[in-house]
Amino acid sequence: MEFSFFPHWILFFGFLFLSVAPEPVSELTIKTAWQAEDAGIETRNHTQCMAWQIYWKTQTRNHDLSTSDIELLAQRRRSISIYTWRDASKYQIPGKLLEQYAAIHLNWDTICRFYSRIHWFNSTQEAFRYEIKVDQFCETLSNASNMTVESTDETLNGTSLQDALTKLMIKETRFDAETEQNTTSQILLLNSTNDIELLPKSINLNARLLDVHQSIAMSIGGLCGDEAQFEMPFDQDEDFFNSLAFDVSGLGWNASQVREFMRDEDGGLDNIMAQFENISDERPFPSTQIIPWLKKVKYDQRTPPSMLPGHLVKVKIGLFVQSLSNFELTTMDYDMDVWLRMAWRDIRMAHGLSKPILINEFTSLRRIWRPDPFITNAKDAKFHPVTYLNFYMFIFPNGEIFMEIRTMLKNSCQLVFCKYPHDEQRCGVRISSIGFTHDIVRFEWFSRKWDAIRMKTDLQLPELFLLDHVARNCDGRRKSGNYSCIEASFQMKRDIGYHLAQTYVPTSICVVFSWVGAWLPEEFVEGRILVSLTVFLTLSAENNAAKEALPKVSYVKAIDLWFGFTSTFVFATMIQALIIISLENESKKDSNEEAYGKYMLAKMLVKSHRFHKIARDFDSFCKVMYPVTFILFLMIYRFVIIEGEEVKCLREDQA
């Protein structure tokens, strides 16, 4: 009996212990490989990192996928949250972490990039790559070393800049194989944004590096001194060339030249337009020169010139607008004849000849990688094929490529007719990449406005005139990713001349003509009715003709208010004519003199005279009221309705 009772007490105290054991409440977020290693997670051979490496290869080069690669890609996740031991086992995460944390969040997109724990700046080349002002950095250290606590005014929480930087200095000893001696170097170790804030902003050291690195180490000797500059193991030439997305051995360049090409991202692309001023004097080489060069460098036109993950291909975009026409109000679109200009750099095309190579036939063009822009708001687009496809491409000796192609676009434009026909419209052209995300190919406008958007000198727009044009960036977010997007916006104002002649003048004449009824004799009944009715029907026809050219919208337009008032005005003249006719009939009612005595006859004459006087006075009042009311409406229409906000009617409609 006692023997069977003892295990029950053990179970009771066991459950009691589990019930009072504290549950972990904090959560762990891992964003880098070194954070994962600290947590005991093996990243190099992890399924997620293997999948991400395959994915990045497919984005930067032509990579043949095997069955196992496809299976790995199917398991790829950008981020994962672990809450249970089952999840930890599924994603190869040590389960013991759940004993310390309630949840574990992993961002594999950054973990699998394998950022180092310490980011080293050992040479000026590495600093220039991150646009760090080395001269400013060295000057700051020099000034700090020459300061004394009493002489300097630069303090941080009561500590001089000299003391603050001294605390961040460490010494590192390395063995030099050539001299077989130990060498000591001074290192500035930055562990937080507060440390970076000690340095002047002019140095341009990006604090966001600490988002993916634990520390930033800056070699004083490597950046400012004369000592030998050492490179980290991952930066050796052989490893560097192997890490590139394509083979550049055919160029005959060393690693320093390739790195210099990568650092100079713009590479003078903004000034490429200036090279065409004397292009006719250079007489470029024909396209036949490019074929042997493509074979030499083993060129693959399917691979973008993005050499490393994170290395962007910047494409400068410009437009030369030849015409803007056919602004259709009902379909909200317009036609555009434009030359699309693109400039980018491709290290594989650095042929090194004395003159550029001209490509003007499609057979050679399709052998070369080109950006993939498309017009996101285009309903229809086509190239000009007469007499053959209108395009040309120049490949310059240092790898700069300029391409211009003529295209005809029918772009959609969201029009707002609140103030029509006194409206201002803003229509644009949105250019985005079809398949390359913004971390591979990025579209940018030429820096100079004249090169970004250039309008034909004698450009004329029917019914509109151009006020301004603006080049800007736009949101290129789609379900499949974030894509580079730029937009050219054209601000236009409608010319009022056409509507003045076709709408305002005719309808104003109709309104004035409707006043004629007030000047006709009271006895001319048919004339009063006929004038008002004729004018009303004319205005109705004008209103219907104007509506046919406009889309059906849910808000009230300025032209609607114009036709509404003029129609109401003419309708009021009809009511006035009916009132006058009614008063005249009352004045003539019971006019049989023989049926009444003298007293009743006198009374009827007085009544008739009173109705007749009211009719004459009402006519006199209308003769003044009509012009005054119409002039008052014109003032309100001119200074209130058509001077209001362009989208005011939209907000009122939504309210």
CB atoms within 10 A of CB 323: 15
What is each CA distance from 590 to 339, 585, 601, in whole angstroms? 85, 10, 10
Residue 188: predicted pLDDT: 81
Among 111-125, 317-331, 407-421, 606-620, whose mean pLDDT is lowest? Answer: 606-620
Lowest-pLDDT range of 34-43, 146-155, 188-197 = 146-155
At 15, is the pLDDT very low, low, confident or very high (cuts 50, 70, 90)?
Answer: very low
> What's at 565, amino acid-wise?
F
Question: pLDDT tens across 565-577, in order?
Answer: 999 888 888 888 8
The DSSP output letter for 430 is E
Q: Which helix (H) or strand (E) holds 627?
A: helix 598-636
Q: What is the mean pLDDT of residues 217-227?
A: 73
Report helix, strand or coil for 349: helix
Residue 649 has a pLDDT of 72
Residue bearing the bigger pLDDT, 235 or 449: 449
**Region 57-64: what's the mean pLDDT?**
66
∠ CA 540-546-552, nearest 5°, is 105
Q: Is the dihedral of CA 644, 649, 654, 655 positive or negative?
A: positive
Model confidence over 129-167: pLDDT tens digits?
677 887 778 877 777 666 443 333 444 444 455 566 666
Assign 460 to helix, strand or coil: coil
With 0-12 CB in 10 A as exposed, 13-18 as middle and 19+ as buried, what is 21? Answer: exposed
Angle at the Cα of 506 from the Cα atoms of 503 and 508, rounded to 5 degrees? 95
**Pairwise CA distance, residues 312 & 1, whole Å:** 79
Determine the Cα–Cα distance for residues 61 and 399; give it in Å rounded to an integer.
19
Strands 391-395 and 357-359: antiparallel
Ranges of each domain in the chain: 21-111, 118-235, 265-495, 498-654
The predicted structure's pLDDT at residue 148? 43
Q: Higher confidence at residue 160 or residue 113? A: 113
- Confidence (pLDDT) at 623: 83
Alpha-carbon span 175 to 188, nearest angstrom: 20
Query: How buried is residue 84: exposed, middle or buried, by Cβ count under 10 Å (0-12/13-18/19+)?
Result: exposed
**pLDDT band, residue 13 (cuts 50/70/90):** very low
Under 8 Å CB-to-CB from 117, ≥6 apart: which residues?
34, 213, 214, 215
User: What percent of the residues of the chain are helix, what percent strand, and what percent coil, each to the nearest 5?
Assistant: 45, 20, 35
Alpha carbon distance 471, 487 (integer Å): 6
What pLDDT is attached to residue 237? 63
From CA 585, how far away is CA 627, in angstroms rounded?
28
Residue 653 pLDDT grade (very low, low, confident, very high; cuts 50, 70, 90): low
**Per-residue model confidence (pLDDT) at position 130:** 75
Which pLDDT value is given to residue 11? 43
Looking at residue 20, what is its pLDDT?
Answer: 46
pLDDT above 60: residue 241: yes
Cα–Cα dist 430/426, whole Å: 13
Confidence of residue 238 (pLDDT cuts 50, 70, 90): low
Range name among 341-350, 368-377, 602-611 with the lowest pLDDT average: 602-611
Supply the pLDDT for residue 158.
44
Give me the helix-helix angle, 598-636 and 558-588, nearest 10°. Answer: 170
Confidence of residue 446 (pLDDT cuts 50, 70, 90): very high
Instruction: Give the tokens for residue 392.
Output: 């040309």
CATH for 265-495, options being 2.70.210.12, 3.40.190.80, 2.70.170.10, 2.60.120.260: 2.70.170.10
Q: Which two tokens stand for residue 367?
A: 């052998």
Q: Check residues 520 and 540 and name the one with the higher pLDDT.
A: 540
Looking at the predicted structure, is the pLDDT value of residue 284 above 90? no
Cα–Cα distance measured from residue 9 to residue 546, given in angstroms and rounded to the nearest whole number:
94
Average pLDDT over residues 545-561: 87
Query: Tokens 């001319």 identify what position?
Result: 524
The pLDDT value given to residue 154: 45
User: Do residues 30 and 105 lie in contact, with contact meaning Cβ atoms separated by under 8 Å?
Assistant: yes
Token pair belonging to 491: 């601000």
Q: Are strands 313-328 and 333-345 parallel, antiparallel or unpaired?
A: antiparallel
How confident is residue 579, by pLDDT bands cut at 50, 70 and 90?
A: confident
Of the two residues 616 and 653, the one the predictor is more confident about is: 616
**Which residues fall within 8 angstroms of residue 451, CB to CB, at 6 or more apart?**
270, 273, 318
The pLDDT mean for the chain works out to 80
Binned at pLDDT 50, 70 and 90, residue 182 comes out as low
The first and second tokens of residue 624, run together, are 């003044």
Q: Which of 444, 424, 488, 216 is nearest to 345 (CA)?
A: 444
Model confidence at 609, pLDDT cuts 50, 70, 90, reads low
The structure tokens listed for 64 are: 């043949």
What is the rounded average pLDDT of the residues 259-270? Answer: 77
Q: Determine the average pLDDT of the residues in 475-490.
A: 85
CA atoms of 432 and 442, how far apart (whole Å): 9
What does the block give as tokens for 592?
Answer: 């049989």
pLDDT, residue 141, reads: 76
Q: Mean pLDDT throughout 76-100?
A: 86
Burial class (CB in 10 A: 0-12, 13-18, 19+), 382: exposed
Cβ atoms within 10 Å, residue 403: 20
pLDDT tens by residue, 365-419 = 999 999 999 999 999 999 988 888 899 999 999 899 999 999 999 999 999 888 8
Is pLDDT of 511 > 60?
A: yes
Pick the CATH number of 498-654 from 3.90.1200.10, 1.25.10.10, 3.40.50.300, 1.20.58.390: 1.20.58.390
Say whether pLDDT at 639 is over 50: yes
Look at residue 314 in the predicted model and tell me its pLDDT.
92
pTM of the predicted model, to two decimals? Answer: 0.62
pLDDT of residue 16: 42
CA 528 – CA 513 distance, rounded (Å): 11
For the cut 80, the answer to whether the pLDDT of residue 240 exceeds it is no
Query: pLDDT higher for 546 or 586?
Result: 546
Say if CB 322 and CB 337 are below 8 A apart.
yes
Q: Which helix (H) or strand (E) holds 465?
A: strand 464-473
The full 3-state SS of 249-307, as one line of letters, equals HHHCCCHHHHHHHHHCCCCCHHHHHHHHHHHHHHCCECHHHHHHHHHHCCCCCCCCCCC
| pLDDT surpasses 90 at 264 | no
